[in-house]
């Protein structure tokens, strides 16, 4: 964890049919992943999706909290808050 990390709230829906970002609801990024919530598969899909959407390496996106629930806290390295807000307005960063 570094001082340059940006933390965002994410609401993840496993077995959502496809890996996609549905937008921002109540300050949290709403994400669906096709993977089931078994053995961390949904979490890994979520982190890969966020990294790909932001053009970052997978290692730049880490799960900080919420590994077993739908509501998660994700740290993103290599991107600043204004960049995230330009992409997803209303995101709580």
Copy the structure tokens of residue 67. Answer: 């590994």
Q: What is the pLDDT of residues 26-74, one digit of tens each?
A: 999 999 999 999 999 999 999 999 999 999 999 999 999 999 999 999 9
What's phi and psi for 2, nearest 5 deg?
Answer: -120, 170
SS3 25: strand
- Domain definitions of the chain by residue range: 6-87
Pair 76, 60: CB distance under 8 Å: yes
Q: Are the C-beta atoms of 58 and 51 separated by less than 8 Å?
A: yes
Single pTM value for the model = 0.92
Q: What is the CATH number of domain 6-87?
A: 3.30.1200.10
pLDDT the model gives residue 93: 83
Residue 3 pLDDT: 60
3-class secondary-structure state, position 52: helix
């Amino acid at each position: 964890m570094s001082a340059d990390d940006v933390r965002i709230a994410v609401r993840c829906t496993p077995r959502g049919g496809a890996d996609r970002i549905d937008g921002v609801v109540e300050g949290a990024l709403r994400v669906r992943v096709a993977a089931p919530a078994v053995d961390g598969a949904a979490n890994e899909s979520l982190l890969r999706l966020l990294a790909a959407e932001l053009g970052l390496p997978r290692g730049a996106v880490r799960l900080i909290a919420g590994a077993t629930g739908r509501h998660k806290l994700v740290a993103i390295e290599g991107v600043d808050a204004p960049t995230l807000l330009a992409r997803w307005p209303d995101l709580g960063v």
